[in-house]
A and B are shown apart, each in its own frame.
Chain A
């Protein structure tokens, strides 16, 4: 499991790569939280472009970061979820509280406008 964290126009963009299961989530959660502190919770975009597998552990990771961002009045968005993962997002109801965009540019735009 690998993540790439970049600050783009003040927003933290986290690109996840690999298989996002319980084991992977445990290894990256602290890294994401550290980056969020560093960028003062200004905004968060999570990109799933390079994720080809995920389970409910990933939902826990997303919801946890959503809670953190909400506490700091920061906005958050998801982007580039491939079709095989889509069903999990839809089942979970997570899309009722978090917007999902086709592209990172759109997600960044949404977070910035907050």
Chain B
């Protein structure tokens, strides 16, 4: 999946940065949910969006930074009835993104990770792009369509 450049101008955006502490996972979800409320999503759409955000932010905290602490950046943009969420860390990066995207794959089995985080993201948003460079960090871009031509999707 590749995100195409859209001709539509961004109608609204927000940026949030926070330290990679697990207590901020709920902050990230609630913030995105409040922001997305402008598109009048259904409860199901909102739950899916919150879950995908939770997975991406948890990955940044556990896998991106691990035992070290760094900054997680959360950006949201609304345009044409869709929300785009970008989660960026400047942590470890992923050696092999294709491998990481396989269901049940986990690099941290000792932490009881299920290996389903990216699979859940893929299923709960319409577009998912993961860009990563070992030693530099990871950028996860998700887009979810909430309305189509003013109608609920």
Chain A residues at the B interface, C-beta cutoff of 8 Å? 19, 21-23, 25-26, 29, 53-57, 59-61, 63-64, 84, 87-88, 91-92
Whether B44 lies near A84 (C-beta < 8 A) is: yes
* In the complex, chain A residues whose CB is within 8 Å of the CB of B120: 55-56, 88, 91
- Chain A residue at minimal CB-CB distance from B121: A56
Which of B29, B54, B112, B123 contacts A91, CB < 8 Å? B123
Q: With A23-B22, A23-B25, A91-B116 as known contacts, state yes or no: A57 contacts B58, CB within 8 Å.
A: yes
Docked Cα-Cα span, A88 to B123, in Å, equals: 9
Residues on B facing A (Cβ under 8 Å): 22-23, 25-26, 29, 43-44, 47-48, 50-51, 54-55, 58, 61-62, 111-117, 119-120, 123
B37 to chain A, nearest CB (A): 16
- Whether the Cβ atoms of B25 and A21 lie closer than 8 Å is yes
Docked CA distance A25–B23 (Å):
11
Q: Which residues of B contact A26 (CB under 8 A)?
A: 22
Contact residue among A23, A56, A61 (Cβ-Cβ distance under 8 Å from B117): A56
Asked if A60 meets B112 with Cβ closer than 8 Å, knowing A53-B47, A88-B120, the reply is yes
In the assembled complex, the CB of B32 is this many whole angstroms from the nearest CB of chain A, namely: 13
Docked CA distance A89–B30 (Å): 22
User: Whole-angstrom distance between the alpha carbons of A56 and B113 in the complex?
Assistant: 8
Are A22 and B50 in touch, CB under 8 angstroms? no
Provided the pairs A21-B54, A55-B54, A61-B112 are in contact, do residues A91 and B119 lie with their beta carbons within 8 angstroms? yes
Chain A residues, Cβ within 8 Å of B44? 84
On whether A21 and B114 interact (CB within 8 A), knowing A53-B50, A84-B43, A84-B47, the answer reads no
Contacts of A57 in B (CB 8 A): 58, 113-114
Chain B residues near A22: list those with CB within 8 A.
Answer: 22, 25, 54, 58, 61-62
Given A53-B54, A88-B51, 11 more A-B residue pairs with CB atoms under 8 Å apart are: A21-B25, A22-B54, A23-B25, A54-B51, A56-B55, A56-B116, A56-B117, A60-B112, A84-B47, A92-B114, A92-B116
* Residues in A whose Cβ lies below 8 Å from that of B123: 87, 91
A91 / chain B contacts, CB cutoff of 8 Å: 116, 119-120, 123
In the assembled complex, the Cα of A87 lies from the Cα of B48 at a distance in Å of: 9
